[in-house]
Amino acid sequence: MQRSLALRLALVVTAVVVLAGCAPTASDAPAVPAVEAPSPAASMDDQAFAPTVASPEDLDGKDATVKIGTSLVVAVPDGTEAEWTGSTADNAIADFSPGGPSEGSVFRPGFLPHAVGKTDATLTGPDGKTIRFTLSVVAP
């Protein structure tokens, strides 16, 4: 009996040693280099400028300045966004962008600059009153 117990114990120890040689160790694992995400380099070209916001009363008879790459947003009363119209004397410098609902959002009317320069602009409200002003477009 002692002999059979010793034999079984020897077989178990041998099996453990053999199986341990088959198991991968930490040094057998393939080396995966760490991947570092590149850090974004902020530049002036990547940064967005805030729009210029003005009420119709702020524009009346005045000179409004807006940077290329932004817009002039007209802060009209809620619910009237689609009722405002506008125009510019020179659409190459800036043009009117109507307001109103679009894709689940409501946008305010405004003017989009295209080139450096000055142009006369008009804005007409739902009451029919026309507001005249000069729109100066400057470089960012």
Q: What is the pLDDT of residues 46-85, one digit of tens each?
A: 567 899 999 999 999 999 999 999 999 999 999 999 999 9
Q: How many residues does the chain have?
A: 140
Residue 122 has pLDDT above 80, yes or no: yes
Q: How confident is the model at residue 111 (pLDDT cuts 50, 70, 90)?
A: very high
120 neighbors 111 (Cβ within 8 angstroms): no
Using one digit for the tens of pLDDT, what is the confidence trace for 3-38? Answer: 444 445 444 445 445 555 555 555 555 444 444 444
Measured from the Cβ of residue 96, the count of other Cβ atoms closer than 10 Å reads 21
Cα 22–Cα 24–Cα 25 angle in degrees, nearest 5: 125
Residue 86 has pLDDT above 70, yes or no: yes
What's the confidence (pLDDT) of residue 23?
A: 52
At residue 54, the 3 state secondary structure works out as: strand
What's the confidence (pLDDT) of residue 49?
A: 84
pTM for this entry: 0.66
Please give the average per-residue pLDDT across 34-43, as a whole number.
47
